Structure 1
């Protein structure tokens, strides 16, 4: 167990210990207030060899990745290079085939594009081939007209947004390079990867899974769109996401690999109204616009099924407005990842949190005390102490 704690008297360290008692394998937590890392703790093991988790361990964070990808789009919107309400085909002409000519980036960010599916013949190897994915997406036919249904783009989100960004980048860089050079490096985020370097593979925490159902997906009540969005061939679960080729590919909807510190720092950009360490990434107005809920917020999603359909508290800008153990509220911008990785910001209160780990579970599989309950309590107490000064 290790920690760097500035205000918590070891409380976060104790919360990490409790999460390990409740089944966590390896975990990191980081808390930022303003520009400052105020608490950080880690513990457990990164793989079956017993390699200890430390501050340099990086973990697959699944859909927390979508926050980084959405921010890249907002950078291009802010620069006037993308109009979110213009057809995506304006920037990516081949995309407009087969009835997709009216889909906008705004539809994609709100998960209302009507094309949540992955290619029918996808494999892990093909998913790692950016050009192949783009060619397949160009041939998609919508399941629903854009803007008429909530259709969570569980995996495909990253290529939809990423190719729009790449096409509007004057340098036409690979999307992973754009994110690193235009989003991460300017604000000092050093360990959030869309494609892990070979020399960093040994730092990745290997996943173990306590998910339910095929590929971890609960399929009761599944729609055709739901099954197409999360095919078993590229299941969001440990077998696929422990592959080195998947770790090293740019999968900008689900394939990010990061430390909790880097996740907290990414969300600190939002918590600080678009600025971190005197570098402005986004305007305060753009960040505040992300707090607006998407249209049809209360209509059940056609992809997120399992028992009863539900709709996450999704904003119009691609971030969630709550739905994690860390809470919700009018100033919350967050994104959970499959298995309970979390990136969280409260724009009104100016703080952010990152939780990364290697045991995949859903709240449906928890009986008794939630493994993150003590962590949420510790974070709340740390923030209360800081605000009380």
Structure 2
């Protein structure tokens, strides 16, 4: 990279390649009020970082600026990272995605769930989208206990015949599957085998050091109002899905509550609550499709297995909408009308409030965008469009 962003007119800091100016401008425009929140963007191309920029404040309460080491809460972008770890375990022969969950976790077979496979769980087909009973924060951060609750429940539909996003239950299910199948802790495996070789500042279970670098997430008043009104209107199931049976607030975040609570961020809830830098996020996704810092975390064959479509079209409750709908591989979002990203080959995961991490093998790109100011819709569309244009013109 050859250009410094330190004197950008909206106070963007960092560095970027000369042909990425329009990308940085689109990034700067994604932060409406740099005094109310901040964001960071990283793009890796061909295994090299071509954009590493940031803007705004990491903590509006103190005025602390967003620095290179500042970490954001990744929300559901955490799922994509956990899915990479599972794909790596499968590639090493330690886990078979096509095997029934009950083959490694016998209790899961309760209520006719014996034919649900590990891949079905990864692709949101298990029918266990919410806890059947109310939960407390203590229940939420007890990941094995949370998983046991879900294993004891009947599914909402039989034999993985439908799909519906498992917003918060996905993580405990996947965590327990990994533990039962391999004897390993998923967050620890990710730290050791994925993040550490890349020197990526990303973790699925935050320790005290990581917690000290986190930018607390805030929500614009209009976004909070929209969320608190629309979620209850979606019905009781949706409310239980999005709050884990009442363990989290409807808005997901508050002052050291929800996904700002250190207990949640330190729990290893693979559904959400990972924390990391944009650069760390992007380099991990880059390493799934290109050698990055000399590391390739997945082979081409493992990527094909990870991205083989497993769920698409209307979800189980999508009876009154014509889409567009998301598409899913084994825990990753695939490019779709709902999520275009760079090309039809893109895969990754976004998160509430605007977070996004993805890879694109066609362009050889790893992309990471993080923010601490929750928005009602994705913020990365104009950034990705500018990136596509710049790469096509190169």
* TM-score, normalised relative to structure 2: 0.85
| C-alpha contact (below 8 Å) 1:57/1:203 kept by paired residues | yes
Aligned partner of 1:264 in structure 2 is: 282
User: Are 2:201 and 1:185 equivalent residues in the alignment?
Assistant: no
Structure 1 residue 137: Cα displacement = 2.2
CA distance in 1, matches of 2:75, 2:110: 29
Other structure's SS at 1:290 match:
helix
CA offsets per residue over residues 41-84 of structure 1, 9 Å max, x none?
Answer: 10100112110001111001111100111112112221222222
Out of 380, 383, 391, the residue aligned to residue 383 of structure 1 is: 391
User: Are 2:285 and 1:286 equivalent residues in the alignment?
Assistant: no
Aligned partner of 1:20 in structure 2 is: 31
Aligned partner of 1:359 in structure 2 is: 373
CA distance in 2, matches of 1:206, 1:215: 20
Q: Name whichever of 155-164 and 138-147 sits farther off.
A: 138-147
Aligned partner of 1:339 in structure 2 is: 353
| C-alpha contact (below 8 Å) 1:61/1:337 kept by paired residues | yes
Aligned partner of 1:350 in structure 2 is: 364
Other structure's SS at 1:41 match:
strand
CA distance in 2, matches of 1:371, 1:214: 17
Moved segments of 4+, more than 6 Å: none
Instruction: Specify every segment of 5 or more residues in structure 1 that has no aligned partner in the other structure, as ranges.
Output: 364-369
Aligned partner of 1:40 in structure 2 is: 52
Structure 1 residue 164: Cα displacement = 1.2
Note the 1:39-188 alignment, pairs <5 A: 39-47=51-59, 48-118=61-131, 120-169=133-182, 172-186=183-197, 188=198
Taking a change above 3 Å as real, the CA distance of residues 137 and 9 of structure 1, as seen in their structure-2 partners, is closer
Total equivalences in the alignment: 371
Aligned partner of 1:366 in structure 2 is: none
Note the 1:294-333 alignment, pairs <5 A: 294-295=310-311, 297-302=312-317, 308=321, 310=323, 312-322=325-335, 327=341, 329-333=343-347
Out of 177, 191, 196, the residue aligned to residue 206 of structure 2 is: 196
| C-alpha contact (below 8 Å) 2:120/2:160 kept by paired residues | yes
| C-alpha contact (below 8 Å) 1:118/1:155 kept by paired residues | no
CA distance in 1, matches of 2:305, 2:188: 26
- C-alpha root-mean-square deviation of aligned residues, in Å? 2.6
Other structure's SS at 1:218 match:
helix
Other structure's SS at 2:14 match:
strand
Instruction: Specify every segment of 5 or more residues in structure 2 that has no aligned partner in the other structure, as ranges.
Output: 1-11
CA distance in 1, matches of 2:272, 2:95: 23
CA distance in 2, matches of 1:116, 1:309: 22
* TM-score, normalised relative to structure 1: 0.86
Taking a change above 3 Å as real, the CA distance of residues 217 and 104 of structure 1, as seen in their structure-2 partners, is farther
Structure 1 residue 349: Cα displacement = 1.5
Structure 1 residue 13: Cα displacement = 4.1
Taking a change above 3 Å as real, the CA distance of residues 124 and 311 of structure 1, as seen in their structure-2 partners, is farther
CA distance in 2, matches of 1:318, 1:216: 29
Aligned partner of 1:367 in structure 2 is: none
Out of 213, 231, 234, the residue aligned to residue 218 of structure 1 is: 231
CA distance in 1, matches of 2:113, 2:86: 19
Aligned partner of 2:3 in structure 1 is: none
